[in-house]
């Protein structure tokens, strides 16, 4: 078999780890406890030039999280059920999901280790909330109580379109411009901002739709679902490019 030298000589594709669900799932005749993630997340990474790998919830400590991150160049904290309110000192709202504490603990460990090592991170919907709580922030548990309507999450798995305004000078603004339309499905949102985070986007209701850590590190999270509009890969492309740079710099450090 001939060796494809051109592929070996080309720019390396960074490996992007994506967190997953771990819950009961059906596939054909099977109904079993499973790790899974909607394929559009994988498409967002691969279409943007990355290699996608899944990171299922599992027992974790700081050493395990660090070892996992040794094998990837960027991290996506994906969407899913509500963050356990006890993790930010609140009692549960009647509408809050039953918490998935195993996933919460897993993702908190990954976020902490990723931020320490300056690994590029993209948070999506729940991922934005996880990042904020991991850094000491809190959440609004039910947005209709705050904004007076249910347009952010109308139910029945139907995404709604929100108009988003980015903050001038933010990394997010550099990626998507001053305004963008976003596919939203969330009944919770960021309340008190986590330590070291800045707001990088708001919607017309004043709801925080984007946050980031200012500076050179790519740590960015959006409250919407960019994987639902894969004709616009700017957020995934930004993560992949940051991961490629991280890989290059890490290789230089190791050399």
Would you name the residues annotated as active-site residues? 125, 225, 227
CA dihedral of 233, 238, 239, 241, whole degrees rounded to 10: 120
Beta-bridge mates of residue 221: 123, 211
Q: Are 208 and 221 in contact (CB under 8 A)?
A: no
CA dihedral of 63, 68, 71, 75, whole degrees rounded to 10: -120
Cα distances (angstroms) measured from residue 56 to each of 34, 53, 173: 9, 10, 31
């Amino acid at each position: 078999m001939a060796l494809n030298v051109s592929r070996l000589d080309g720019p390396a594709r960074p490996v992007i780890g994506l967190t997953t669900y771990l819950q009961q799932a059906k596939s054909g005749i099977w109904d079993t406890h499973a790790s899974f993630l909607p394929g559009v997340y994988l498409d967002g990474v691969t279409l943007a030039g990355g290699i996608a790998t899944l990171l299922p919830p599992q027992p974790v400590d700081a050493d395990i999280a660090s070892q996992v991150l040794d094998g990837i160049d960027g991290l996506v904290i994906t969407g899913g059920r509500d963050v356990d309110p006890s993790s930010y000192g609140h009692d549960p709202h009647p509408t809050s999901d039953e918490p998935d504490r195993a996933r919460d603990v897993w993702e908190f460990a990954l976020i902490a280790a990723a931020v320490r090592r300056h690994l590029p991170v993209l948070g999506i919907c729940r991922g934005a909330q996880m990042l904020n709580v991991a850094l000491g922030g809190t959440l609004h548990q039910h947005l209709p109580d705050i904004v007076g309507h249910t347009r952010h999450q109308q139910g029945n798995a139907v995404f709604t379109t929100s108009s988003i305004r980015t903050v001038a000078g933010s990394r997010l603004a550099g990626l998507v411009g001053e305004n963008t339309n976003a596919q939203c499905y969330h009944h919770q949102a960021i309340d008190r901002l986590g330590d070291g985070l800045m707001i990088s986007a708001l919607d017309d209701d004043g709801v925080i739709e984007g946050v980031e850590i200012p500076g050179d590190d790519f740590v960015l999270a959006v409250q919407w679902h960019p994987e639902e509009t894969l004709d616009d890969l700017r957020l995934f492309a930004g993560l992949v490019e940051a991961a490629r740079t991280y890989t290059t710099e890490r290789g230089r450090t190791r050399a």
